[in-house]
Structure 1
Protein backbone atom coordinates (compact mmCIF):
# COMPACT_ATOMS: atom_id res chain seq x y z
CA UNK A 1 0.00 0.00 0.00
CA UNK A 2 2.83 2.38 0.84
CA UNK A 3 4.35 1.90 -2.62
CA UNK A 4 0.99 2.41 -4.34
CA UNK A 5 0.44 5.73 -2.58
CA UNK A 6 3.52 7.13 -4.30
CA UNK A 7 1.64 6.98 -7.64
CA UNK A 8 -1.65 8.46 -6.43
CA UNK A 9 -0.74 11.89 -7.81
CA UNK A 10 -0.56 10.54 -11.36
CA UNK A 11 -3.38 11.63 -13.63
CA UNK A 12 -6.12 9.03 -13.94
CA UNK A 13 -4.57 6.70 -11.36
CA UNK A 14 -6.18 8.12 -8.23
CA UNK A 15 -9.58 6.47 -8.61
CA UNK A 16 -8.25 3.00 -9.40
CA UNK A 17 -5.65 3.11 -6.61
CA UNK A 18 -8.19 4.22 -3.99
CA UNK A 19 -10.58 1.48 -5.16
CA UNK A 20 -7.81 -1.12 -4.94
CA UNK A 21 -6.86 0.01 -1.43
CA UNK A 22 -10.49 -0.22 -0.27
CA UNK A 23 -10.85 -3.72 -1.71
CA UNK A 24 -7.61 -4.90 -0.08
CA UNK A 25 -8.62 -3.41 3.29
CA UNK A 26 -12.11 -4.94 3.16
CA UNK A 27 -10.70 -8.33 2.14
CA UNK A 28 -8.13 -8.23 4.98
CA UNK A 29 -10.79 -7.39 7.56
CA UNK A 30 -13.06 -10.14 6.25
CA UNK A 31 -10.30 -12.75 6.43
CA UNK A 32 -9.39 -11.76 9.99
CA UNK A 33 -12.97 -11.53 11.29
CA UNK A 34 -13.88 -14.89 9.73
CA UNK A 35 -10.89 -16.55 11.37
CA UNK A 36 -9.27 -17.63 8.10
CA UNK A 37 -6.31 -15.44 9.01
CA UNK A 38 -5.77 -15.04 12.78
CA UNK A 39 -5.36 -11.49 14.04
CA UNK A 40 -2.64 -12.63 16.45
CA UNK A 41 0.01 -15.33 16.21
CA UNK A 42 3.08 -16.31 18.21
CA UNK A 43 5.03 -13.91 15.98
CA UNK A 44 2.43 -11.15 16.42
CA UNK A 45 1.56 -11.51 20.08
CA UNK A 46 -1.44 -10.08 21.88
CA UNK A 47 -0.58 -8.17 25.06
CA UNK A 48 -2.86 -9.02 27.98
CA UNK A 49 -3.05 -8.37 31.71
CA UNK A 50 -4.20 -10.93 34.26
CA UNK A 51 -4.78 -9.47 37.72
CA UNK A 52 -6.17 -10.91 40.94
CA UNK A 53 -8.11 -7.92 42.30
CA UNK A 54 -9.32 -7.40 45.87
CA UNK A 55 -11.62 -4.38 45.90
CA UNK A 56 -12.41 -2.84 49.30
CA UNK A 57 -13.48 0.54 47.92
CA UNK A 58 -17.21 -0.26 48.11
CA UNK A 59 -19.46 -1.20 51.00
CA UNK A 60 -18.66 -4.88 50.53
CA UNK A 61 -15.26 -6.41 49.85
CA UNK A 62 -15.12 -8.10 46.44
CA UNK A 63 -12.41 -10.32 44.96
CA UNK A 64 -12.15 -11.42 41.34
CA UNK A 65 -9.74 -12.22 38.52
CA UNK A 66 -9.51 -9.63 35.75
CA UNK A 67 -8.40 -10.30 32.18
CA UNK A 68 -8.02 -7.26 29.92
CA UNK A 69 -5.97 -6.03 26.99
CA UNK A 70 -5.04 -2.72 25.39
CA UNK A 71 -5.15 -4.31 21.95
CA UNK A 72 -8.34 -3.96 19.87
CA UNK A 73 -11.01 -6.64 19.81
CA UNK A 74 -12.82 -8.70 22.41
CA UNK A 75 -11.41 -11.52 24.53
CA UNK A 76 -14.20 -14.05 24.05
CA UNK A 77 -11.99 -16.65 22.38
CA UNK A 78 -9.32 -16.35 25.08
CA UNK A 79 -11.90 -16.56 27.87
CA UNK A 80 -13.48 -19.65 26.31
CA UNK A 81 -10.12 -21.40 26.05
CA UNK A 82 -9.19 -20.58 29.67
CA UNK A 83 -12.48 -22.07 30.96
CA UNK A 84 -12.54 -20.36 34.36
CA UNK A 85 -16.02 -18.86 34.14
CA UNK A 86 -14.96 -15.49 32.72
CA UNK A 87 -17.70 -13.04 31.70
CA UNK A 88 -16.58 -10.44 29.18
CA UNK A 89 -18.01 -7.05 28.35
CA UNK A 90 -17.91 -3.31 28.86
CA UNK A 91 -20.23 -3.62 31.85
CA UNK A 92 -17.23 -5.05 33.75
CA UNK A 93 -15.15 -1.86 33.65
CA UNK A 94 -12.68 -1.50 36.52
CA UNK A 95 -11.16 1.65 37.97
CA UNK A 96 -7.49 0.80 38.54
CA UNK A 97 -6.90 4.36 39.86
CA UNK A 98 -4.18 5.20 37.31
CA UNK A 99 -6.51 4.25 34.45
CA UNK A 100 -9.88 2.65 33.78
CA UNK A 101 -10.11 -0.70 32.02
CA UNK A 102 -13.35 -0.16 30.11
CA UNK A 103 -13.54 -3.68 28.68
CA UNK A 104 -12.90 -6.61 30.98
CA UNK A 105 -13.33 -10.31 31.43
CA UNK A 106 -13.93 -11.17 35.09
CA UNK A 107 -14.48 -14.29 37.16
CA UNK A 108 -15.00 -14.76 40.89
CA UNK A 109 -14.08 -18.44 40.84
CA UNK A 110 -11.90 -19.19 43.91
CA UNK A 111 -11.00 -15.47 44.07
CA UNK A 112 -11.66 -15.15 47.81
CA UNK A 113 -8.55 -17.20 48.62
CA UNK A 114 -4.90 -17.05 47.62
CA UNK A 115 -4.13 -13.64 49.14
CA UNK A 116 -3.35 -12.38 52.64
CA UNK A 117 -5.73 -10.09 54.54
CA UNK A 118 -2.71 -8.33 56.04
CA UNK A 119 -1.92 -6.97 52.56
CA UNK A 120 -5.20 -5.04 52.34
CA UNK A 121 -4.47 -1.28 52.32
CA UNK A 122 -6.21 0.96 54.83
CA UNK A 123 -7.22 4.61 54.53
CA UNK A 124 -8.66 6.12 57.71
CA UNK A 125 -9.19 9.58 59.17
CA UNK A 126 -7.15 10.01 62.36
CA UNK A 127 -7.86 13.70 62.94
CA UNK A 128 -10.30 16.28 61.61
CA UNK A 129 -10.09 19.79 63.01
CA UNK A 130 -11.32 23.24 62.12
CA UNK A 131 -8.96 25.92 60.89
CA UNK A 132 -9.44 29.46 59.69
CA UNK A 133 -11.34 29.25 56.43
CA UNK A 134 -11.75 25.48 56.43
CA UNK A 135 -10.56 22.18 57.91
CA UNK A 136 -7.46 20.01 58.14
CA UNK A 137 -8.13 16.29 57.75
CA UNK A 138 -5.30 13.94 58.75
CA UNK A 139 -5.51 10.59 56.97
CA UNK A 140 -3.46 7.52 57.80
CA UNK A 141 -2.51 5.41 54.79
CA UNK A 142 -1.20 1.88 55.31
CA UNK A 143 -0.25 0.11 52.08
CA UNK A 144 -0.04 -3.33 53.70
CA UNK A 145 2.76 -5.40 52.22
CA UNK A 146 3.08 -3.28 49.09
CA UNK A 147 5.88 -0.88 48.19
CA UNK A 148 4.34 -0.03 44.80
CA UNK A 149 1.16 1.99 44.83
CA UNK A 150 -0.86 4.67 43.05
CA UNK A 151 -2.90 7.29 44.88
CA UNK A 152 -5.34 9.82 43.47
CA UNK A 153 -6.52 12.88 45.40
CA UNK A 154 -9.62 14.88 44.50
CA UNK A 155 -8.26 18.40 44.10
CA UNK A 156 -11.76 19.72 43.39
CA UNK A 157 -12.46 19.08 47.08
CA UNK A 158 -9.00 19.72 48.52
CA UNK A 159 -7.21 23.07 48.53
CA UNK A 160 -3.80 21.54 49.28
CA UNK A 161 -2.18 18.57 51.02
CA UNK A 162 1.05 17.32 52.57
CA UNK A 163 2.41 13.80 52.91
CA UNK A 164 4.88 12.27 55.33
CA UNK A 165 6.21 8.85 56.31
CA UNK A 166 4.76 7.53 59.58
CA UNK A 167 2.60 9.33 62.12
CA UNK A 168 5.33 11.04 64.16
CA UNK A 169 5.24 14.84 63.93
CA UNK A 170 9.02 15.13 63.52
CA UNK A 171 9.04 13.00 60.39
CA UNK A 172 10.25 14.81 57.27
CA UNK A 173 7.61 15.69 54.70
CA UNK A 174 7.69 13.77 51.43
CA UNK A 175 5.35 16.30 49.82
CA UNK A 176 5.13 19.84 51.16
CA UNK A 177 2.42 22.44 50.78
CA UNK A 178 2.33 24.28 47.48
CA UNK A 179 0.60 24.36 44.13
CA UNK A 180 -0.51 20.90 42.96
CA UNK A 181 -1.41 19.91 39.43
CA UNK A 182 -4.49 17.91 38.46
CA UNK A 183 -5.96 16.37 35.33
CA UNK A 184 -9.11 17.50 33.55
CA UNK A 185 -11.24 15.48 35.99
CA UNK A 186 -9.65 17.15 39.02
CA UNK A 187 -7.46 14.25 40.20
CA UNK A 188 -3.87 14.65 41.39
CA UNK A 189 -1.96 11.38 40.99
CA UNK A 190 0.98 10.06 43.01
CA UNK A 191 2.90 6.94 41.97
CA UNK A 192 5.33 5.31 44.37
CA UNK A 193 7.71 2.39 43.95
CA UNK A 194 10.31 1.41 46.54
CA UNK A 195 12.61 -1.42 47.53
CA UNK A 196 12.34 -4.07 50.24
CA UNK A 197 12.83 -1.52 53.03
CA UNK A 198 10.47 1.07 51.57
CA UNK A 199 7.94 2.59 54.01
CA UNK A 200 4.36 1.35 53.99
CA UNK A 201 2.82 3.78 56.49
CA UNK A 202 2.07 7.40 55.60
CA UNK A 203 0.03 10.36 56.80
CA UNK A 204 -1.67 12.86 54.52
CA UNK A 205 -2.96 16.20 55.73
CA UNK A 206 -5.77 17.43 53.52
CA UNK A 207 -6.45 21.17 53.65
CA UNK A 208 -10.09 21.69 52.81
CA UNK A 209 -11.89 24.97 52.20
CA UNK A 210 -15.25 25.78 53.74
CA UNK A 211 -16.91 26.05 50.34
CA UNK A 212 -19.25 23.17 49.63
CA UNK A 213 -19.00 21.63 46.18
CA UNK A 214 -21.97 20.27 44.25
CA UNK A 215 -23.55 16.98 45.32
CA UNK A 216 -22.47 15.24 42.12
CA UNK A 217 -18.81 15.63 43.04
CA UNK A 218 -19.46 14.23 46.54
CA UNK A 219 -20.46 10.92 45.02
CA UNK A 220 -16.83 10.17 44.25
CA UNK A 221 -14.21 9.55 46.97
CA UNK A 222 -11.65 12.01 48.28
CA UNK A 223 -8.87 9.45 47.89
CA UNK A 224 -8.46 6.40 45.65
CA UNK A 225 -5.63 3.93 46.25
CA UNK A 226 -4.31 0.90 44.41
CA UNK A 227 -1.51 -1.20 45.88
CA UNK A 228 0.36 -3.81 43.83
CA UNK A 229 2.12 -7.02 44.77
CA UNK A 230 4.32 -8.90 42.32
CA UNK A 231 2.82 -12.21 43.35
CA UNK A 232 1.01 -14.84 41.32
CA UNK A 233 -1.86 -16.40 43.20
CA UNK A 234 -2.83 -19.99 42.27
CA UNK A 235 -5.85 -18.62 40.39
CA UNK A 236 -3.72 -16.24 38.29
CA UNK A 237 -1.17 -18.97 37.62
CA UNK A 238 -3.92 -21.26 36.39
CA UNK A 239 -5.21 -18.59 33.99
CA UNK A 240 -1.71 -17.85 32.68
CA UNK A 241 -1.07 -21.52 31.97
CA UNK A 242 -4.27 -21.73 29.91
CA UNK A 243 -3.76 -18.58 27.85
CA UNK A 244 -3.44 -19.12 24.08
CA UNK A 245 0.20 -19.23 22.90
CA UNK A 246 -0.15 -15.90 21.08
CA UNK A 247 -0.95 -14.06 24.34
CA UNK A 248 1.83 -12.47 26.37
CA UNK A 249 1.78 -10.56 29.64
CA UNK A 250 2.56 -6.88 29.18
CA UNK A 251 2.13 -3.86 31.40
CA UNK A 252 2.95 -0.17 31.35
CA UNK A 253 4.42 1.71 34.30
CA UNK A 254 0.86 2.52 35.36
CA UNK A 255 -0.42 -1.06 35.02
CA UNK A 256 -1.10 -3.21 38.10
CA UNK A 257 0.96 -6.24 39.05
CA UNK A 258 -0.66 -9.69 39.13
CA UNK A 259 -2.13 -9.00 42.59
CA UNK A 260 -3.78 -5.63 43.24
CA UNK A 261 -5.80 -4.16 46.10
CA UNK A 262 -8.20 -1.23 45.73
CA UNK A 263 -9.26 1.10 48.54
CA UNK A 264 -10.84 4.53 48.86
CA UNK A 265 -11.77 7.20 51.38
CA UNK A 266 -15.26 8.63 50.85
CA UNK A 267 -16.19 12.29 50.98
CA UNK A 268 -16.57 13.57 54.54
CA UNK A 269 -18.51 16.69 55.56
Structure 2
Protein backbone atom coordinates (compact mmCIF):
# COMPACT_ATOMS: atom_id res chain seq x y z
CA UNK A 1 0.00 0.00 0.00
CA UNK A 2 1.09 3.56 -0.71
CA UNK A 3 1.00 6.15 2.02
CA UNK A 4 0.70 9.86 1.28
CA UNK A 5 0.80 13.10 3.28
CA UNK A 6 -2.29 15.31 3.35
CA UNK A 7 -3.04 18.67 4.90
CA UNK A 8 -6.38 18.87 6.71
CA UNK A 9 -8.26 22.09 7.47
CA UNK A 10 -8.62 21.54 11.20
CA UNK A 11 -10.60 24.70 11.94
CA UNK A 12 -12.25 27.34 9.81
CA UNK A 13 -10.32 30.59 9.80
CA UNK A 14 -11.22 33.17 12.44
CA UNK A 15 -9.55 36.26 11.04
CA UNK A 16 -6.14 35.65 9.53
CA UNK A 17 -5.22 31.93 9.19
CA UNK A 18 -2.99 30.35 11.87
CA UNK A 19 -0.72 27.31 11.78
CA UNK A 20 -3.04 25.64 14.30
CA UNK A 21 -5.86 25.78 11.72
CA UNK A 22 -4.06 23.09 9.73
CA UNK A 23 -3.11 19.51 10.55
CA UNK A 24 -0.66 17.31 8.66
CA UNK A 25 -1.67 13.65 8.42
CA UNK A 26 -0.67 10.51 6.58
CA UNK A 27 -3.23 8.48 4.72
CA UNK A 28 -3.21 5.10 3.02
CA UNK A 29 -4.17 5.29 -0.63
CA UNK A 30 -6.63 2.70 -1.95
CA UNK A 31 -5.41 0.05 -4.40
CA UNK A 32 -5.40 1.09 -8.04
CA UNK A 33 -8.34 -0.07 -10.13
CA UNK A 34 -8.00 -1.38 -13.63
CA UNK A 35 -7.03 1.48 -15.95
CA UNK A 36 -5.99 3.85 -13.14
CA UNK A 37 -2.51 5.32 -12.64
CA UNK A 38 -0.83 6.81 -9.58
CA UNK A 39 0.88 10.17 -10.03
CA UNK A 40 3.29 11.93 -7.71
CA UNK A 41 2.82 15.70 -7.27
CA UNK A 42 6.01 17.72 -7.68
CA UNK A 43 4.68 21.29 -7.59
CA UNK A 44 1.50 22.51 -5.90
CA UNK A 45 -0.26 25.87 -5.97
CA UNK A 46 -1.29 27.56 -2.72
CA UNK A 47 -3.45 30.21 -4.35
CA UNK A 48 -6.28 30.25 -6.92
CA UNK A 49 -4.62 32.83 -9.16
CA UNK A 50 -4.38 31.94 -12.86
CA UNK A 51 -2.43 33.93 -15.42
CA UNK A 52 -5.30 33.01 -17.77
CA UNK A 53 -7.12 35.73 -15.61
CA UNK A 54 -5.06 38.76 -16.73
CA UNK A 55 -5.52 37.93 -20.41
CA UNK A 56 -9.32 37.89 -20.44
CA UNK A 57 -9.85 40.66 -17.88
CA UNK A 58 -7.78 43.13 -19.91
CA UNK A 59 -9.40 42.25 -23.23
CA UNK A 60 -13.00 41.63 -22.19
CA UNK A 61 -13.60 43.86 -19.16
CA UNK A 62 -11.03 46.65 -19.38
CA UNK A 63 -11.15 46.58 -23.19
CA UNK A 64 -7.71 48.15 -23.06
CA UNK A 65 -6.65 50.35 -25.97
CA UNK A 66 -3.16 51.51 -27.02
CA UNK A 67 -2.15 54.75 -25.33
CA UNK A 68 -4.40 54.31 -22.30
CA UNK A 69 -3.22 54.39 -18.68
CA UNK A 70 -3.84 51.47 -16.33
CA UNK A 71 -3.34 51.13 -12.59
CA UNK A 72 -2.60 47.67 -11.16
CA UNK A 73 -2.36 47.02 -7.42
CA UNK A 74 -0.75 43.91 -5.91
CA UNK A 75 1.20 44.16 -9.14
CA UNK A 76 3.97 41.75 -8.10
CA UNK A 77 1.58 38.81 -7.72
CA UNK A 78 0.80 36.02 -10.19
CA UNK A 79 -1.92 37.97 -12.00
CA UNK A 80 -0.53 41.48 -11.59
CA UNK A 81 2.84 40.72 -13.17
CA UNK A 82 1.17 39.30 -16.28
CA UNK A 83 -1.48 42.03 -16.49
CA UNK A 84 1.22 44.70 -16.46
CA UNK A 85 3.30 43.04 -19.16
CA UNK A 86 0.28 42.45 -21.40
CA UNK A 87 -0.77 46.08 -21.01
CA UNK A 88 2.71 47.22 -22.03
CA UNK A 89 2.60 44.97 -25.09
CA UNK A 90 -0.72 46.63 -25.91
CA UNK A 91 1.03 50.02 -25.94
CA UNK A 92 -0.32 51.36 -22.66
CA UNK A 93 1.23 53.27 -19.78
CA UNK A 94 1.32 50.93 -16.78
CA UNK A 95 1.36 52.09 -13.17
CA UNK A 96 1.76 49.49 -10.45
CA UNK A 97 2.22 49.29 -6.71
CA UNK A 98 3.68 46.66 -4.41
CA UNK A 99 4.56 46.21 -0.74
CA UNK A 100 8.37 46.30 -0.79
CA UNK A 101 11.20 48.16 -2.48
CA UNK A 102 12.49 44.85 -3.88
CA UNK A 103 9.16 44.25 -5.62
CA UNK A 104 9.13 47.80 -6.93
CA UNK A 105 12.56 47.25 -8.50
CA UNK A 106 11.41 43.92 -9.92
CA UNK A 107 8.33 45.45 -11.56
CA UNK A 108 10.43 48.18 -13.15
CA UNK A 109 12.61 45.46 -14.69
CA UNK A 110 9.44 43.90 -16.12
CA UNK A 111 8.73 47.18 -17.90
CA UNK A 112 6.20 48.95 -15.67
CA UNK A 113 6.37 52.69 -16.36
CA UNK A 114 5.72 53.87 -12.80
CA UNK A 115 5.82 51.81 -9.59
CA UNK A 116 5.63 52.77 -5.93
CA UNK A 117 5.71 51.06 -2.53
CA UNK A 118 2.28 51.66 -1.05
CA UNK A 119 3.59 50.93 2.45
CA UNK A 120 6.12 53.77 2.45
CA UNK A 121 4.42 56.58 0.51
CA UNK A 122 3.19 59.42 2.67
CA UNK A 123 -0.08 59.69 0.78
CA UNK A 124 -1.57 57.11 -1.56
CA UNK A 125 -3.56 59.79 -3.37
CA UNK A 126 -0.43 61.86 -3.97
CA UNK A 127 1.54 58.82 -5.16
CA UNK A 128 -1.18 57.95 -7.67
CA UNK A 129 -1.38 61.56 -8.83
CA UNK A 130 2.38 61.77 -9.28
CA UNK A 131 2.47 58.53 -11.26
CA UNK A 132 -0.27 59.72 -13.62
CA UNK A 133 -1.34 63.37 -13.23
CA UNK A 134 -3.97 62.98 -15.96
CA UNK A 135 -5.73 60.09 -14.16
CA UNK A 136 -6.44 56.48 -15.14
CA UNK A 137 -8.45 54.91 -17.94
CA UNK A 138 -8.42 51.42 -16.40
CA UNK A 139 -7.98 49.97 -12.94
CA UNK A 140 -7.11 46.31 -12.39
CA UNK A 141 -8.11 45.78 -8.77
CA UNK A 142 -6.68 42.90 -6.76
CA UNK A 143 -6.97 44.56 -3.34
CA UNK A 144 -10.27 46.39 -2.79
CA UNK A 145 -11.00 48.30 0.43
CA UNK A 146 -9.58 51.75 1.14
CA UNK A 147 -7.06 51.51 -1.69
CA UNK A 148 -9.82 51.31 -4.27
CA UNK A 149 -11.69 54.23 -2.76
CA UNK A 150 -8.68 56.44 -3.46
CA UNK A 151 -8.17 55.13 -7.00
CA UNK A 152 -11.81 55.68 -8.00
CA UNK A 153 -11.40 59.40 -7.32
CA UNK A 154 -8.61 59.52 -9.90
CA UNK A 155 -10.31 57.61 -12.70
CA UNK A 156 -10.92 59.36 -16.00
CA UNK A 157 -14.35 59.86 -17.52
CA UNK A 158 -15.75 56.53 -18.79
CA UNK A 159 -13.01 54.59 -16.98
CA UNK A 160 -13.25 50.82 -16.55
CA UNK A 161 -12.53 48.85 -13.37
CA UNK A 162 -11.95 45.08 -13.37
CA UNK A 163 -12.42 43.67 -9.87
CA UNK A 164 -10.17 40.59 -9.77
CA UNK A 165 -9.75 40.23 -5.99
CA UNK A 166 -10.24 41.88 -2.61
CA UNK A 167 -7.28 40.56 -0.64
CA UNK A 168 -7.44 43.44 1.84
CA UNK A 169 -10.87 42.18 3.01
CA UNK A 170 -10.63 38.39 2.96
CA UNK A 171 -9.59 37.92 6.59
CA UNK A 172 -11.59 40.65 8.32
CA UNK A 173 -13.60 39.54 11.32
CA UNK A 174 -15.88 42.56 10.89
CA UNK A 175 -16.78 44.17 7.54
CA UNK A 176 -14.78 47.32 6.84
CA UNK A 177 -16.73 50.57 6.86
CA UNK A 178 -15.93 52.83 3.96
CA UNK A 179 -17.36 55.71 1.91
CA UNK A 180 -19.95 55.01 -0.75
CA UNK A 181 -18.51 54.47 -4.22
CA UNK A 182 -21.58 55.47 -6.20
CA UNK A 183 -20.60 59.15 -6.38
CA UNK A 184 -17.43 58.78 -8.50
CA UNK A 185 -19.02 55.95 -10.51
CA UNK A 186 -21.98 58.18 -11.41
CA UNK A 187 -20.19 61.48 -11.92
CA UNK A 188 -17.43 59.92 -14.08
CA UNK A 189 -19.72 57.36 -15.70
CA UNK A 190 -17.40 54.53 -14.72
CA UNK A 191 -17.95 50.85 -15.43
CA UNK A 192 -16.99 48.49 -12.60
CA UNK A 193 -17.28 44.73 -13.02
CA UNK A 194 -16.27 41.77 -10.90
CA UNK A 195 -15.33 38.49 -12.53
CA UNK A 196 -14.02 34.96 -12.16
CA UNK A 197 -11.82 33.56 -14.89
CA UNK A 198 -14.06 30.48 -15.19
CA UNK A 199 -16.45 32.69 -17.16
CA UNK A 200 -14.17 32.12 -20.16
CA UNK A 201 -13.62 28.40 -19.61
CA UNK A 202 -14.83 27.72 -23.16
CA UNK A 203 -11.99 29.97 -24.45
CA UNK A 204 -9.26 28.50 -22.27
CA UNK A 205 -7.23 27.21 -25.21
CA UNK A 206 -7.28 30.65 -26.82
CA UNK A 207 -5.80 32.27 -23.73
CA UNK A 208 -3.18 29.57 -23.16
CA UNK A 209 -2.10 29.62 -26.80
CA UNK A 210 -1.69 33.40 -26.84
CA UNK A 211 0.22 33.51 -23.55
CA UNK A 212 2.51 30.57 -24.39
CA UNK A 213 3.38 32.22 -27.70
CA UNK A 214 4.46 35.38 -25.86
CA UNK A 215 6.51 33.32 -23.40
CA UNK A 216 8.23 31.43 -26.22
CA UNK A 217 9.03 34.73 -27.94
CA UNK A 218 10.56 36.12 -24.75
CA UNK A 219 7.94 38.87 -24.53
CA UNK A 220 6.27 37.61 -21.35
CA UNK A 221 7.98 36.57 -18.12
CA UNK A 222 6.19 34.41 -15.56
CA UNK A 223 7.97 34.74 -12.20
CA UNK A 224 7.40 32.11 -9.52
CA UNK A 225 7.89 32.20 -5.76
CA UNK A 226 8.81 28.64 -4.75
CA UNK A 227 8.64 27.32 -1.19
CA UNK A 228 10.50 24.06 -0.59
CA UNK A 229 8.78 21.21 1.24
CA UNK A 230 5.21 19.90 1.49
CA UNK A 231 5.37 20.42 5.25
CA UNK A 232 5.62 24.18 4.62
CA UNK A 233 2.33 24.38 2.72
CA UNK A 234 0.44 26.43 5.38
CA UNK A 235 3.37 28.83 5.76
CA UNK A 236 3.44 29.36 2.01
CA UNK A 237 -0.31 29.94 1.96
CA UNK A 238 -0.19 32.47 4.79
CA UNK A 239 2.82 34.15 3.21
CA UNK A 240 0.86 34.58 -0.01
CA UNK A 241 -1.97 36.28 1.89
CA UNK A 242 0.59 38.64 3.44
CA UNK A 243 2.04 39.46 0.04
CA UNK A 244 5.40 37.79 0.62
CA UNK A 245 5.46 36.19 -2.83
CA UNK A 246 6.69 37.69 -6.09
CA UNK A 247 4.79 36.04 -8.93
CA UNK A 248 2.93 32.76 -8.62
CA UNK A 249 3.15 31.13 -5.16
CA UNK A 250 4.17 27.48 -5.53
CA UNK A 251 5.26 24.70 -3.17
CA UNK A 252 7.85 22.23 -4.37
CA UNK A 253 7.13 18.99 -2.56
TM-score of Structure 1 vs Structure 2, range by shorter chain:
under 0.3
TM-score, length basis structure 2: 0.21
TM-score, length basis structure 1: 0.20
Higher Cα radius of gyration: 1
Which structure is higher in helix share? 2
